[in-house]
Amino acid sequence: RKRIRVRQIAQAKAEGRRISALTSYDCMTARIFDEAGIDLLLVGDSAANVVFGANTTLSITVDELVPLARAVAQAAPHCLVVADLPFGSYEAGPDQALATSIRFMKESGVQAVKLEGGVRSEAMIRKVVDAGIPVVGHIGFTPQSEHGLGGHVIQGRGAAAKQLMEDALAVERAGAFAVVLEMVPASVAAEVTKALTIPTIGIGAGAECDGQILVWQDAFGLNNGRLPKFVRQFAQVHEVLRNAASEYREAVADGSFPNTAESYPDIAPTV
Ligand code: KIV
Ligand code: NA
């Protein structure tokens, strides 16, 4: 199995194969998700929330995200690895977007970058793509602008569907190879998916997208806090780890760990 490339992601849409994507922020999960055959791994700025404990994604910096992206890119030889451009690292204009993208490509070894915004980000996407760096767009609910959007609000409902479609077409026109649709009505996501030649990757955007993405801590239950409606829990990793930690604590407390086999004898046994 060779590394999935942008071309295969595009082919998946043409051939009607759905694209599976997950977030990852470290080498261990990257290796597991790669083994499982996931197509695309996103080193998301959601690391601000699920790694660093912040309430929004706004605080994470390029310096913080680059090492996580490097860990994922090194550990996932088959997935297409994409890094998010953090808030504040591309909005100033195409030159800033390109400079930040080049940092991720050089310092982390990812194969693509993702940035938020449709029409408003068209020039930035084009500049990065023209430099030979594949770009994923991200429209609908864009977490980096949650203060401007007034919180976690569903986008593209009713009359707003027209703007969402314009954003999608702008992202495609700018040369992005895929676009994330976040928190939009399933019917609107279906329309956008039909209108675009590039694949749509949905999160809270219904089943008609060309692929799906979830934050792994939500999808696999490491996070046992309140979850959005669109998350399905495929595992309860929180329980697994909590039980393991309390078993460990008990084994330490009652002296049953470590046993003889887990200890070194004074003289090495002869083989
Ligand atoms: O940062 C992130 O995790 C994301 C997605 C879930 C699309 O942008
Ligand atoms: Na993100």
- pLDDT < 70 positions in the chain: 269, 271
Does residue 1 lie within any of the structural domains? no
Beta strands in the chain (DSSP E): 19-23, 40-43, 80-84, 112-114, 135-140, 178-182, 200-203, 211-214
Are 251 and 205 within one domain? no
Per-residue pLDDT, 155: 97
Are 211 and 246 within one domain? no
Per-residue pLDDT, 41: 98
Per-residue pLDDT, 265: 93
User: Which residues sit opposite 178 in a β-bridge?
Assistant: 136
Contact indicator for 42, 24 with CB cutoff of 8 Å = yes
Beta strands in 158-216 (DSSP E): 178-182, 200-203, 211-214
| CATH number of the domain residue 213 falls in | 3.20.20.60
The closest residue, in CA terms, to atom 2 on ligand 1 is 44
Q: Classify the C-alpha dihedral 264-268-269-271 as positive or negative.
A: positive
How far apart CA 30 and CA 27 sit, in angstroms, is: 5
Are 111 and 73 within one domain? yes
For a ligand 1 pocket test, name from 203, 212, 230 the mutation site with the most ligand atoms within 8 angstroms of its C-beta. 203
Q: Could you tell me if the CB of 46 is within 6 A of ligand 1?
A: yes
Are 257 and 244 within one domain? yes
Contact indicator for 42, 215 with CB cutoff of 8 Å = no
Q: Could you tell me if the CB of 180 is within 6 A of ligand 1?
A: yes
Q: Is 182 an annotated catalytic residue?
A: yes
Contact indicator for 82, 41 with CB cutoff of 8 Å = yes
Longest distance between any two alpha carbons in the chain, whole Å: 79
187 CA distance to ligand 2 middle (Å): 23
Per-residue pLDDT, 97: 98
Token look-up 């990812």 returns 110
Are 22 and 154 within one domain? yes
Are 185 and 246 within one domain? no
Does residue 12 lie within any of the structural domains? yes
What does pTM read for this prediction? Answer: 0.97
Does residue 268 lie within any of the structural domains? no
Q: How many CB atoms lie within 10 A of CB 223?
A: 18
Per-residue pLDDT, 201: 98
Q: Could you tell me if the CB of 66 is within 6 A of ligand 1?
A: no
Are 170 and 253 within one domain? no
Which two three-digit tokens encode residue 20? 């599976």
Q: Classify each residue of 80-113 as buried b or exposed e, where b means 16 or more C-beta atoms within 10 Å of its C-beta.
A: bbbbbbbbebbbeebebbbebbebbbeebebbbb
Per-residue pLDDT, 184: 98
Are 31 and 99 within one domain? yes
Q: How many domains does the chain have?
A: 2
Q: For residue 248, what are the domain limits?
A: 237-263
Are 245 and 148 within one domain? no
Q: Which residues fall in the annotated binding site?
A: 45-46, 84, 114, 116
User: Within 13 A of 93's CA, how many CA atoms are on the CB side?
Assistant: 1
The closest residue, in CA terms, to atom 4 on ligand 1 is 44
Are 167 and 243 within one domain? no
Does residue 80 lie within any of the structural domains? yes
Are 41 and 120 within one domain? yes
ipTM over 0.95: yes
Per-residue pLDDT, 179: 98
For a ligand 1 pocket test, name from 110, 212, 215, 217 the mutation site with the most ligand atoms within 8 angstroms of its C-beta. 215
Which of 15, 64, 91, 182 is labelled catalytic?
182
What one-character DSSP code corresponds to residue 260?
A: G
Are 87 and 26 within one domain? yes
